[in-house]
């Protein structure tokens, strides 16, 4: 008996570094992932799909986001259970209670909005631990597990939140205590705990009763191996969990030292080696010092790539990389007369440093560009 | 370039002409109008620029009118290191020849010659400057355009520390172009690009804030809605509990209310009984008071009667005493009158005595005065009649002295006669007999002759000789003078004169004594005033006598003179007695008056007391007739018993209320009622709040605020990034432009300075020491300052503009140095007055470096140029 375990769809998510059409494609890809999950559930013979929280990015998503999501879910061939998580908790004003959702929600899609168990098929109980607000008072998942009878039934608890043993602390609201889940499992109250919140697929306990499914599409640079869903076979005593890759976008955080032309060559090669640039979101963590000419080259190569990548976050001049107007830069500017005087004055200011030095450096950089333009014409 | 020589043949009106130029300094070419001055330099243009085969109109125009002849132009020039001659012939027999004399001699012809000439010109001549320094006839009065001059630029650059070409501004223009994307060029205000970016950020911030507020509102509404639901359930339960409790408490309260009614009735009865008792007690008190009043009235009446009797008894003795006092007052007044009369008489007598003493003094004084006046008058009469003067007196004295001197001198010279007695004998030597004892001698001088009788013995006459004649004559003359002087003074002799002088001095003293006496006796006044005083005193004497009733002149009794002070004191004592007696009389009289009033008042008082007593007695009797005193006392007893009974009833009721704990019962009902009311109000409030929260959730819940907020935040981050990038680029562009502007301004300032200094230095010789000018970037004069007044170039007079243009050209020619070209002034300075022209000539004359050619038809104009080479063109041949 298989169940498709997924979570953290975070539909309606916006990223500032995604401009215009990239944001549209990113959003569309996330909806496509939902469709792929439905197909995966059907292909794998799952009896239902559980979404362990954060279906939406916020508890007040746009009506279009809701409508498009429900339209995709309507095409699922098995029951779907949606759990309100910390992003989209079940407060009275939330989307779950609004007519926008309720009026369109297909009959095979249910919100796990209370303690009562659902039975998609005979011999399988689904119990949800929904978030009632962004600041829950206790460990909702453990409480749901402990509330279930110790009858050894094939029971799946759907929960959401960080696990202290994984995230390393209880600071955040709604943190889950793994020992309580283990006890519930060993007491025969729960067979499998389907967790959401962590965007990387993770087995939480040693025996394999507690899992994070990971997000079907990545959402940020710091995620390890996102873009997954789990097919959980609840037949055996210990569930058999299979990971499936469903993501199409990738976040890349590239850390690179740039001090020489060779470094820039390597950076260029590194960028060009990335797969599927149109679905790559790239952030450059550059360190080093460049002269004006090198900065101009860096700017040019990044500008060109920015057109091809899904997103390319530029390093900020002066803040991320030091820019230095060198004697060579000045020598390149073969100016005479007053232009040479102006150039040398700016160079002196640039060398003096401070904010004025940065501005003077930028001015020299601009002068280099304008003078270069002169050479080209 | 320098022009060494120009030779023309068959060019316009010139049949043939050759002019040698000074290579440095001024060459003045003088010729009348229409004789080809201008033709010289038009020909130079053509030979330098045009090929011999050209058919250009201005070249064709060089051919003399109506003659088909060849025009030949030959120019000998210095071009940099080259010394050369170019010769071209146009129209017919065309040719071009170039002969290079130095540094290496060579010769070319045809196109090669022309091309080589052009090459050398391009290489060694600043053609733009050549054009700028050519002042043709009728040239415009615009500033000289020097901006295109390469050689000048080179020199100025060298002065400014060049090298560099400030006019190659393509890079600067691109900088400005970049800058103007972000800022307006003139005022440096931010352009729409920047302000739009700011506005976009602000819009995004506002949108984020709006959505955050909405989301917070929505979240708060959800949270609150949950709370409200819980509270409503709790309150409804509480309301249901409160209703039966309130009913029970209200029953108890109703019982308390009934008992309170009974209590109130008992208290009312008590108050009524107390009032009756008080009324009865008051009636008893009033009766006692009335009886007392009657007794008081009887006593008052008796007292009034006694008073009246006392007053009437005192009246008679007081009246008698007053009458006796009246008599004493009259006597005292008579006494006082007498005392006053005696006092006044005594005063009058004293006055009379004093007046008579004064009169006696005045009369004595008048006598002394009159005597002095009389004596003085007599003395004055003597003085007036006397022949005495000081002069005459001195003459007598002098004459007497002279006589004595003359006599002494005569005596000294006269022979001495000595008579020695041999026995006692009487001798008379002319001055009386004298007994001379034996042996004694008698000596005498004999001035003229002397007869000596010796006893009766002999008479001897001694006669002086003639040697004493002069002295005897002098003695005689002195004696005659003395006799004359004495006669003049009307005296016998010198001693008589002294006596007279003594008399005269006595008279003068008498006159002086009169003035002293007058001053002393009259004390500064006149005799008339003294007379008036005397008359006044006599009148006073008469008046006082009349007052004292005695005849004028009668003496007052000197034996017993009355003492006015004692009499005054007696008068004042008499008056005091009168005042004292009158005061006593007034006091008595007032006492009597007061006593009479007292009698009247006592009578009135007695009558009032009688009436009062009668009235009160009547009232008491009436009251007793109505209710007697015993009945009043009985009523008081009855009313006090009724009060006691009512007090017991009230105490009973209060006890019953206390037992029921009435206060608590009421409070409990109120508490329950307010709790119930409060619960209902809260419920109503919560219901209302729930409805409004539901409305908020319904309105905003479906708006997708969360997603919109995230999108707005992303947009804000993007726009901030864009804005920051834009600002950074704008700042870079501004910094770059400012650096260029500053450097450019400094370069231009440094670059213009040498030219400006030369123009000013030369110009001060023409305009005066306070001249100053400004040059623009094109090296053209923009303004002139003279005597503190700055005018734009266009505002200047035509003459000033022309002079400044020539000064500019001179400065440029001077500055260009060896790279320079000739400055050609063709019939210029027509606008310039003779004074300035002379000074301009001096400026021209000072130039040693550049080559200057002045073409003029009026030689006088330029005769002031020192050291100029003057060339006169021959007059034009008759065409």
Q: pLDDT digit string (tens) for A305-330?
A: 888 888 888 777 766 777 888 887 78
Average pLDDT over every residue of B437-458 = 83
What is the enclosing helix (H) or strand (E) of A280? strand A280-287
Residues of B whose CB is below 8 A from A14: 707, 710-711, 713-714
For B509-519, write each residue's pLDDT tens digit: 998 888 888 88
| Alpha carbons B711 and B498: distance in angstroms, whole number | 160
Instruction: Report percent pLDDT > 90 for chain B.
Output: 12
Q: Which of residues 363-392 of B touch A (CB under 8 A)?
A: none
| Alpha carbons B674 and A63: distance in angstroms, whole number | 48
Residues of B whose CB is below 8 A from A20: none
pLDDT at B705: 87
Average pLDDT along chain B: 84
Q: Does B703 touch chain A (CB under 8 A)?
A: yes
Residues of A whose CB is below 8 A from B743: 338-339, 341-342, 345
- Facing residue for B171 by CB, picked from A13, A339, A365: A339
Q: If you search the block for the tokens 């023309």, which residue do you land on?
A: B8
Judge whether residue B546 has pLDDT over 60: yes
What is the torsion angle, in degrees rounded to the nearest 10, for the CA atoms of residue A159, residue A163, residue A167 and residue A168? 160
Query: What's the complex ipTM?
Result: 0.83
Q: Do A95 and B713 touch (CB under 8 A)?
A: no
Q: Does B223 touch chain A (CB under 8 A)?
A: yes
What is the pLDDT confidence band of residue B161, given thresholds at 50, 70 and 90? low
Q: Which residues of chain A have pLDDT under 70?
A: 168-171, 318-319, 373-377
| Alpha carbons B147 and B128: distance in angstroms, whole number | 9
Average pLDDT over every residue of B639-648 = 86
Q: Does B709 touch chain A (CB under 8 A)?
A: yes
At B536, is the secondary structure helix, strand, or coil?
helix
Judge whether residue B648 has pLDDT over 90: no
> B866 vs B769, which has greater pLDDT?
B769
CA distances B458 to B427, B432, B434, B450, Å, are: 10, 15, 15, 13
Average pLDDT over every residue of B37-48 = 86
Average pLDDT over every residue of B207-232 = 88
Judge whether residue B617 has pLDDT over 60: yes
The angle at the Cα of B476, spanning B472 to B482, to the nearest 5 degrees, equals: 145
Tokens of B316: 């008679």
pLDDT at B343: 86
Is the distance from CB of B500 to CB of B385 less than 8 angstroms? no
Is the distance from CB of B815 to CB of B754 less than 8 angstroms? yes
Q: Report residue B338: phi and psi, to 5°.
A: -60, -50
pLDDT at B633: 85
Distance (Å) from the C-alpha of residue B234 to the closest C-alpha of chain A? 19
The angle at the Cα of B57, spanning B51 to B62, to the nearest 5 degrees, equals: 75
At A129, is the secondary structure helix, strand, or coil?
coil
**Closest residue by Cα to residue A238 from A192, A170, A197:** A192
**Closest residue by Cα to residue B82 from B104, B97, B109:** B104
| Alpha carbons B75 and B85: distance in angstroms, whole number | 6
Q: Which of A236-245, B27-36, B477-486, B634-643 has the lowest mean pLDDT?
A: B27-36
Q: Which of residues 447-506 of B touch A (CB under 8 A)?
A: none
Is the distance from CB of B64 to CB of B12 less than 8 angstroms? yes
Find how far residue B227's CA is from the centre of its chain.
Answer: 78
Q: Which of A345-359, B347-361, B543-557, B729-743 has the lowest mean pLDDT?
A: B543-557
- Residue to mutate among B181, B222, B223, with most A CBs inside 10 A, is B222
pLDDT at A300: 86
Tokens of B612: 């009062």
Q: Which residues contact B265 (CB under 8 A, 6 or more apart)?
A: none
**Closest residue by Cα to residue A47 from A3, A7, A81, A82:** A3
- Facing residue for B704 by CB, picked from A65, A133, A365: A65
pLDDT at B150: 65
**Integer distance in angstroms from the first to the last C-alpha of chain A?**
73
Tokens of B514: 């009169």
What is the torsion angle, in degrees rounded to the nearest 10, for the CA atoms of residue B393, residue B399, residue B405 and residue B407? -130
Task: List A3's β-bridge partners, or say none.
Answer: A48, A232
Task: List A323's β-bridge partners, or say none.
Answer: A290
Judge whether residue B137 has pLDDT over 90: no
CA distances B800 to A351, B195, B514, B790, B805, Å, are: 52, 50, 108, 13, 8
Residues of B whose CB is below 8 A from A66: 704
Distance (Å) from the C-alpha of residue B174 to the closest C-alpha of chain A? 7
Other CB atoms within 10 A of residue B148 CB: 16
- Residue to mutate among B160, B214, B710, with most A CBs inside 10 A, is B710
Is the distance from CB of A111 to CB of A84 less than 8 angstroms? yes
Query: Hey, what long-range contacts does B383-391 have (CB within 8 A, 24 or more apart)?
Result: B383/B504, B383/B507, B383/B508, B383/B511, B386/B490, B386/B500, B386/B504, B387/B488, B387/B489, B387/B490, B388/B489, B388/B500, B388/B501, B388/B504
Is the distance from CB of A71 to CB of A106 less than 8 angstroms? no
Task: List A257's β-bridge partners, or say none.
Answer: A287
pLDDT at A241: 94
HSE toward the beta carbon, residue A85, CA cutoff 13 A: 30
Distance (Å) from the C-alpha of residue A147 to the closest C-alpha of chain B? 23
| Alpha carbons A252 and A259: distance in angstroms, whole number | 22
pLDDT at A228: 94
Burial class (CB in 10 A: 0-12, 13-18, 19+), A255: exposed
pLDDT at A328: 79
Tokens of B542: 């008469």
pLDDT at A42: 95
Q: Which of residues 327-366 of B touch A (CB under 8 A)?
A: none
pLDDT at B879: 41
Average pLDDT over every residue of B297-308 = 88
Distance (Å) from the C-alpha of residue A3 to the closest C-alpha of chain B? 30
Burial class (CB in 10 A: 0-12, 13-18, 19+), A139: buried
Is the distance from CB of A233 to CB of A263 less than 8 angstroms? no
pLDDT at B787: 86
Find how far residue B575's CA is from the centre of its chain.
Answer: 75
């Amino acid at each position: 008996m298989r169940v498709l375990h997924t979570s953290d769809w975070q539909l309606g998510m916006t990223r500032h570094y995604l401009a215009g059409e990239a944001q549209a494609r990113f959003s569309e890809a996330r909806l496509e992932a939902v469709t792929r999950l439905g197909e995966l559930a059907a292909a794998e013979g799952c009896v239902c799909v559980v979404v362990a929280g954060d279906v939406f990015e916020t508890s007040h998503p746009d009506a279009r986001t809701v409508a498009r999501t429900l339209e995709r879910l309507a095409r699922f061939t098995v029951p779907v259970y949606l759990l309100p998580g910390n992003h989209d908790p079940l407060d009275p004003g939330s989307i779950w209670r609004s007519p926008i959702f309720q009026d369109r929600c297909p009959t095979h899609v249910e919100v796990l909005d209370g303690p009562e168990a659902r039975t998609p098929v005979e011999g399988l109980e689904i119990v949800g631990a929904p978030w009632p607000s962004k600041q829950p008072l206790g460990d909702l998942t453990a409480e749901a597990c402990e509330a279930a009878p110790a009858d050894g039934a094939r029971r799946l608890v759907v929960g959401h939140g960080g696990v202290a043993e994984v995230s390393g602390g209880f600071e955040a609201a709604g943190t889950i205590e793994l020992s309580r889940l283990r006890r519930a499992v060993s007491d025969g109250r729960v067979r499998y705990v389907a967790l959401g919140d962590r965007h990387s697929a993770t087995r939480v306990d040693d025996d394999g009763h507690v899992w994070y499914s990971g997000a079907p599409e990545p959402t940020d640079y710091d995620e390890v191996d996102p873009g997954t869903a789990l097919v959980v076979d609840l037949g055996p005593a210990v569930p058999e969990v299979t990971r499936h890759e469903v993501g199409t976008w990738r976040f890349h955080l590239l850390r690179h030292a740039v001090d020489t032309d060779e470094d820039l060559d390597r950076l260029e090669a590194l960028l060009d080696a990335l797969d599927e640039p149109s679905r790559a979101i790239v952030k450059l963590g550059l360190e080093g010092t460049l002269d004006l000419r090198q900065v101009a080259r860096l700017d040019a190569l990044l500008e060109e790539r920015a057109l091809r990548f899904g997103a390319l976050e530029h390093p900020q001049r002066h803040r991320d990389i030091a820019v230095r107007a060198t004697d060579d830069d000045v020598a390149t500017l073969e100016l005479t007369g007053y232009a040479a005087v102006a150039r040398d004055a700016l160079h002196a200011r640039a060398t003096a440093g401070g904010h004025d030095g940065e501005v003077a450096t930028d001015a020299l950089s601009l002068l280099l560009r304008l003078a270069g333009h002169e050479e080209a014409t | 370039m320098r022009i060494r020589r120009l030779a023309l043949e068959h060019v316009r009106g010139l049949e043939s002409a050759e002019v040698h130029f000074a290579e440095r300094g001024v060459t003045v070419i003088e010729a009348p109008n229409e004789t080809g001055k201008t033709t010289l330099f038009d020909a130079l243009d053509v030979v330098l620029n045009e090929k011999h085969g050209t058919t250009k109109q201005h070249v064709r125009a060089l051919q003399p009118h109506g003659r088909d002849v060849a025009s030949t132009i030959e120019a000998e020039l210095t071009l940099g290191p080259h010394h050369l001659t170019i010769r071209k012939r146009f129209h017919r027999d065309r040719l071009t020849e170039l002969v290079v004399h130095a540094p290496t001699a060579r010769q070319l012809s045809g196109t090669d010659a022309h091309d080589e000439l052009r090459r050398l010109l391009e290489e060694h001549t600043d053609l733009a400057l050549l054009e700028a320094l050519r002042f043709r006839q009728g040239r415009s009065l615009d500033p000289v355009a020097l901006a295109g001059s390469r050689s000048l630029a080179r020199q100025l650059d060298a002065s400014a520390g060049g090298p560099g070409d400030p006019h190659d501004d393509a890079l600067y223009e691109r900088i400005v172009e970049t800058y103007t994307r972000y800022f307006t060029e003139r005022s440096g205000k931010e352009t729409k690009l920047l302000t739009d970016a700011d506005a976009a950020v602000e819009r995004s911030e506002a949108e984020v804030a709006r959505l955050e507020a909405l989301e917070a509102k929505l979240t708060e509404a959800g949270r609150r809605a949950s709370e409200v639901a819980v509270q409503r359930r709790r309150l409804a339960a509480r309301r249901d509990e409160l209703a039966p409790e309130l009913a029970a408490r209200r029953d108890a309260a109703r019982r308390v209310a009934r008992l309170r009614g009974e209590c109130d009735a008992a208290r009312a009865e008590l108050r009524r009984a107390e009032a009756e008792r008080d009324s009865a007690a008051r009636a008893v008190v009033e009766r006692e008071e009335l009886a007392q009043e009657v007794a008081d009235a009887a006593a008052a009446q008796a007292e009034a009667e006694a008073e009246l009797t006392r007053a009437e008894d005192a009246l008679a003795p007081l009246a008698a005493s007053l009458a006796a006092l009246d008599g004493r007052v009259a006597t005292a007044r008579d006494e006082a009158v007498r005392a006053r009369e005696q006092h006044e008489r005594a005063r009058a007598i004293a006055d009379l005595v004093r007046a008579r003493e004064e009169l006696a003094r005045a009369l004595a004084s008048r006598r002394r005065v009159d005597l002095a006046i009389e004596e003085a008058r007599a003395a004055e009469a003597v003085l007036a009649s006397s022949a005495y003067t000081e002069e005459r007196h001195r003459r007598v004295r002098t004459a007497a002295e002279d006589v004595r001197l003359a006599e002494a001198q005569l005596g000294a010279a006269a022979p001495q006669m000595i008579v020695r007695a041999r026995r006692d004998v009487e001798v008379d030597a002319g001055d009386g007999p004298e007994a001379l004892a034996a042996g004694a001698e008698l000596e005498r001088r004999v001035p003229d002759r002397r007869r000596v009788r010796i006893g009766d013995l002999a008479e001897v006459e001694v006669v002086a000789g003639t040697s004493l004649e002069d002295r005897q004559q002098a003695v005689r003359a002195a004696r005659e003078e003395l006799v004359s002087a004495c006669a003049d003074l009307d005296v016998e002799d010198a001693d008589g004169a002294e006596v007279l002088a003594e008399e005269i001095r006595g008279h003068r003293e008498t006159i002086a004594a009169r003035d002293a006496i007058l001053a002393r006796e009259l004390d500064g006044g006149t005799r008339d005033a003294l007379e008036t005083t005397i008359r006044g005193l006599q009148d006073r004497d008469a008046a006082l006598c009349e007052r004292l009733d005695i005849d004028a002149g009668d003496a007052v009794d000197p034996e017993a003179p009355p003492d006015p002070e004692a009499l005054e004191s007696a008068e004042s004592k008499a008056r005091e007695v009168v005042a004292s007696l009158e005061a006593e009389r007034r006091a008595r009289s007032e006492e009597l008056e007061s006593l009479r009033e007292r009698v009247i008042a006592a009578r009135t008082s007695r009558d009032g007391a009688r009436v009062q007593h009668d009235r009160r007695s009547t009232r008491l009797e009436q009251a007793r007739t109505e209710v007697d005193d015993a009945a009043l006392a009985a009523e008081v007893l009855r009313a006090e018993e009724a009060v006691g009974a009512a007090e017991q009833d009230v105490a009973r009721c209060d006890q019953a209320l206390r037992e029921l704990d009435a206060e608590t019962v009421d409070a409990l009902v109120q508490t329950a009622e307010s709790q119930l009311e409060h619960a209902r109000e809260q419920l109503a409030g919560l219901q209302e709040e729930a409805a409004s929260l539901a409305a908020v959730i319904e309105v905003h819940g479906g708006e997708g605020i969360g997603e919109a907020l995230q999108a707005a935040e992303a947009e804000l981050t993007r726009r901030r990034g864009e804005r920051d990038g834009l600002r950074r680029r704008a700042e870079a562009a501004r910094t770059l432009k400012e650096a260029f502007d500053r450097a450019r301004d400094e370069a231009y300032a440094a670059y213009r300075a040498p030219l400006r200094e030369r123009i000013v230095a030369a110009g001060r010789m023409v305009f005066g020491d306070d001249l100053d000018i400004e040059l623009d970037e094109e090296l053209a004069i923009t303004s002139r300052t003279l005597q503190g007044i700055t005018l734009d170039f266009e505002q200047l007079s035509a003459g000033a503009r022309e002079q400044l243009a020539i000064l500019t050209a001179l400065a440029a020619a001077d500055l260009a140095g060896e790279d320079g070209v000739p400055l050609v002034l063709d019939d210029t300075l027509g606008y310039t007055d003779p004074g300035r022209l002379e000074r301009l000539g001096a400026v021209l004359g000072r130039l040693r470096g550049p080559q200057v050619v002045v073409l003029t038809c009026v030689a006088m104009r330029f005769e002031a140029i020192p050291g100029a080479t003057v060339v006169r063109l021959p007059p034009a041949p008759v065409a």
